[in-house]
């Protein structure tokens, strides 16, 4: 009797791929749901770190291309994180070719993807040559310029370290807002919030995070503000986060390190600048990230309002720095003595158009 061997042909490859795809999609949906739930349920004082932890947990692969060069980093929660991740921003460093000039930085291509999220950001942004702004120049003979641009309609800003002679680019720093890119990856809605009962609902309960830092992520000063209320004005709304009249001994006002941006090249490091990196992030009462931006801001000399930081510490210099984008403006005053530098006052302004379009607030002309 002849035996007939049955050959098991197995499961077709297409069915296996389809099964893997469904499993991956379900896993991504679960991760998104978990982090959206954590954000929705977290206390106001936890919203900053919940967004940051979500960004790290998503293992985001950040790829940027600009000026003919490309860089890619992956964020992760371990201590050996290759990306420069601050409180509310992530920075990708791009080393251009030797023949890269400032005029060649005419577009930015980005790809932000997570294996744990179905949503991604892949886009190209044009950069007009006129949009680059010279913030500061080193004054120690190295003649290096620090140029900055906020990429329109995006969570990105760029700082370029440029040799002034010939405008040859030495380093490029592409900076992304963590709350804004996290909202994109988690598919969180940024829709307007209207309220027909409380006409001032868009002025209360804000969370604000500010960071002064170096390009390599070194923190000079950092502060978190919660339950911030704004006062309506003719052109929007304003609030004073720190007052210049008291508590100058408060250690939370103290700036750590030199009051200058470190410019690092292959040959040397220069501190002969009067500018810093300022990160700003703003969440509203519904825990929606409304503003996330970064700028290289210059220090402008002002006459000091007070002669002493405290009874025994004389004020030698007073500086002001200002960041302004479409939705918000931030002004910071610094008092400097021979012994220390402190943050003396902070004012935040929400622009009128932002409040009208986001919350439906009506202003009397």
Using CA atoms, how far apart are residues 230 and 284, in angstroms rounded to an integer? 11
User: Who wins on pLDDT, 9 or 135?
Assistant: 135
Confidence of residue 307 (pLDDT cuts 50, 70, 90): low
Using CA atoms, how far apart are residues 213 and 259, in angstroms rounded to an integer? 10
Whether the CA torsion 256, 257, 263, 265 is positive or negative: it is: negative
User: Who wins on pLDDT, 127 or 197?
Assistant: 127
| Token pair recorded at residue 205 | 């309960």
Specify the pLDDT at position 86: 93
- SS3 string, 171-201, reads EEEEEEEHHHHHHHHCCCCCCCCCCCCCCCH
Domain residue limits, the chain: 18-181, 193-359
User: Who wins on pLDDT, 4 or 255?
Assistant: 255
User: Who wins on pLDDT, 75 or 41?
Assistant: 41
Specify the pLDDT at position 362: 79
Q: What is the mean pLDDT of the chain?
A: 88
Confidence of residue 204 (pLDDT cuts 50, 70, 90): very high
Specify the pLDDT at position 16: 45
pLDDT at 132 over 90: yes
pLDDT at 18 over 90: no
Q: Are 263 and 353 in contact (CB under 8 A)?
A: no
Specify the pLDDT at position 224: 95
Specify the pLDDT at position 78: 56
pLDDT at 310 over 80: no
Cα dihedral 243, 248, 252, 255 in deg (nearest 10) = 100
pLDDT at 80 over 70: no
Backbone phi, then psi, for 253, in 5-degree steps? -85, -15
Specify the pLDDT at position 11: 53
pLDDT at 355 over 60: yes
Confidence of residue 250 (pLDDT cuts 50, 70, 90): confident
Specify the pLDDT at position 107: 96
| CA distances from residue 241 to 249, 329, 364 in whole angstroms, order as listed | 16, 13, 25
- SS3 string, the chain, reads CCCCCCCCCCCCHHHHHHHHHHHHHHHHHHHHHHHHHHHHHCCHHHHHHHHHHHHHHCCCEEEEEECCEEEEEECCCCCCCCCEECCCEEEEEECCCCCCEHHHCCEEEEEEECCCCCCCEEEEEECCHHHCEEEEECCCCCCEEEEEEECCCCCEEEEEEEECCCCEEEEEEEEEEHHHHHHHHCCCCCCCCCCCCCCCHHHCCEEEEEEEECCCCCEEEEEEEEEECCEEECCEEEEEEECCCCCCCCHHHECCCCCCCCEECCCCEECCCCEEEEEEEEECCCCCEEEEEEEEEECEEECCCCCEEECCEECCEEEEEEEECCCEEEEEEEEECCCCEEEEEEEEEEEHHHHHHHHCCCCCC
Specify the pLDDT at position 7: 45
Q: How many CA atoms lie within 13 A of 318 on its CB side?
A: 15
Neighbours of 312 (CB within 10 A): 8
Q: Are 97 and 85 in contact (CB under 8 A)?
A: no
Work out the average pLDDT over 216-233.
Answer: 95
Share of the chain above pLDDT 70, in %: 86
User: Who wins on pLDDT, 1 or 289?
Assistant: 289
């Amino acid at each position: 009797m002849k035996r007939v061997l049955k050959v098991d042909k197995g499961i077709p490859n297409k069915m296996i791929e389809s099964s893997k795809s469904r499993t991956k999609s379900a896993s991504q949906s679960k991760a998104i749901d978990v982090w959206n739930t954590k954000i929705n349920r977290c206390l106001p004082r936890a919203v900053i770190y919940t967004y940051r932890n979500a960004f790290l947990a998503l293992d985001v692969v950040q790829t940027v291309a600009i000026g003919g060069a490309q860089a890619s980093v992956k964020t992760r929660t371990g201590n050996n994180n290759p990306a420069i991740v601050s409180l509310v921003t992530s920075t990708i460093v791009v080393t251009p070719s030797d023949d890269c000039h400032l005029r060649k930085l005419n577009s930015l291509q980005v790809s932000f993807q997570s294996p744990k999220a179905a949503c991604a950001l892949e886009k190209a942004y044009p950069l007009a040559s006129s949009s680059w702004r010279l913030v500061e120049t080193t004054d120690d003979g190295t003649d290096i310029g620090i140029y900055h641009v906020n990429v329109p309609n995006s969570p990105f800003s760029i700082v370029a370290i440029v040799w002034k002679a010939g405008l040859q680019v030495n380093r490029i720093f592409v900076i992304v807002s963590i709350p804004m890119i996290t909202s994109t990856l988690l598919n969180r809605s940024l829709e307007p919030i209207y309220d027909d009962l409380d006409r001032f609902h868009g002025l209360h309960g804000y969370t604000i995070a500010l960071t002064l830092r170096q390009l390599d992520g070194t923190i000079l000063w950092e502060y978190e503000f919660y339950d911030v209320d704004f006062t309506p004005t003719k052109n929007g709304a304003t609030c004073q986060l720190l007052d210049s009249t008291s508590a100058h001994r408060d250690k939370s006002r103290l700036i750590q390190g030199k009051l200058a941006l470190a410019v690092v090249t292959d040959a040397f490091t220069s501190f002969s600048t009067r500018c810093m990196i300022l990160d700003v992030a703003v969440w509203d009462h519904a825990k929606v990230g409304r503003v996330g931006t970064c700028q290289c801001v210059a220090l402008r000399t002002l006459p000091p309002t007070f002669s002493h930081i405290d009874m025994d510490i004389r004020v030698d210099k007073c500086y002001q720095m200002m960041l302004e984008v479409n939705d918000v403006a931030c002004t910071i005053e610094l008092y400097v003595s021979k012994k220390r530098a402190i943050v003396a006052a902070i004012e935040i302004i929400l622009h009128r158009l932002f409040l009208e379009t986001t919350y439906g607030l009506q202003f009397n002309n």
